[in-house]
Structure 1
Amino acid sequence: MKVLSLCSLLIGSSLLGAATPPVETEPVTVVVSSLVSSTSTVKLYFYNTPEGFLKSGKWAFSKTVKPEGKREFTLPVELPKGEWAVAITQDLNNNDKIDKNFIGIPTEPYAFSNNVRPTVAAPNFNECKFTVEGPGKVVSIVLKD
């Protein structure tokens, strides 16, 4: 009897999950220019909440791009409608982390959506956010060295 109840619960749960409508996404093009290196990996971190912005592991998703000898690249992504922000780093020494100085300021190139250029503190989500409302959104970011 316990096995039958467990099977019913599992089947019911999977049917409920199947009834969840898919999230609608829109095509967004991210254009990154002024790369410091044409060979070092670039990482893009996509955030959709202010609470997790710039916190390690709190991004909605990330992408890694190899510039393949170029100083600019275009990255097509599909994003759900709403507010988004992007943070970018270029790992010049390919150690798979963003290197920082003794007070925590990155020593490798970085950039943010809206080309926000922080001077004293890291920017917040609202400064960097853009809205995805329909197809054709282009986000252009110039990397800072």
Structure 2
Amino acid sequence: MTLFLFAWLVAANLLPVSTPAPPAATTTVTVVVTKLPSAQATLKLYFYNVKANFLVRNQYTLLKHIKPGGSTKVVYPIQLPPGDWAIAVTQDLNENDLVDRNVIGIPTEPFALSQVGHPRFKVPTFEDCMFKVNGPTTVTIAMK
């Protein structure tokens, strides 16, 4: 009897039924990385969409490992939800799965950032490197 009453209330739209939220819409972002120092070493793309997490170790939103396959240019399409994003790119020349740094913390392996390329005098902010995703977008990043 209880199951019959429950089914009748649901069918009559008198009892709310939770439905899963639709997945967030995504759009294609094409990341083009040029001037790679090595055509073989693994390229790492760190995607950030949270300002407070930008360039904080292990706080990226998404990480992609890419093998250049003999080319000094990589074109990588990815689906991202709309919003503000920034990308950091490193190339692991010695394949030790780390971003090697000197004694004061500056990377000794090639790196670059979206919108600013290779910074010289200060660590860029999220706003410096940010680009908006609200439709198909292409981001070009040149390594040093």
TM-score by length of 1: 0.84
Moved more, 54-63 or 39-48: 54-63
Code of the aligned partner of 1:86: I
Q: How many residues align?
A: 128
Deviations 1:93-139 (A, max 9, x none): 0000010011111000000001343223321100000001112x100
RMSD, aligned CA: 1.2
Percent sequence identity is 46
Q: Is the 8 A contact 1:29 1:76 kept in 2?
A: yes
Q: CA deviation at 1:19?
A: 1.5
SS of the equivalent of 2:122 reads coil
Q: Which amino acid aligns with 1:142?
A: A
Match of 1:60 in 2: 61
Structure 2 matches for 1:1-145, cutoff 5 A? 16=18, 18-135=19-136, 137-144=137-144
Counterpart Cα distance in 2 of 1:72 and 1:41: 12
Letter in 1 for 2:60: W
In structure 1, C-alpha distance between the alignment counterparts of 2:49 and 2:127, rounded to whole Å? 11
The letter of the residue matching 1:97 is L
Q: Which runs of 4+ in 1 moved over 4 A?
A: none
* CA distance, structure 1, for counterparts of residue 40 and residue 117 of structure 2: 24
Q: Kindly provide the amino acid, as one letter, of the partner of residue 106 in structure 1.
A: P
Distance 1:98 1:117 in 2: 15
What CA distance in whole angstroms lies between the structure 2 residues aligned with 1:108 and 1:116? 14
Unaligned runs of 5+ in 2: 1-16
Q: Which protein has the larger Cα radius of gyration, Structure 1 or Structure 2?
A: 2
Partner of 1:4: none
Contact 1:116–1:123 under 8 Å retained in 2: no
**1:50-83 deviations in whole A, cap 9, x for unaligned?**
1000011111111000011110010000010110
Give the structure with the larger helix fraction: 1
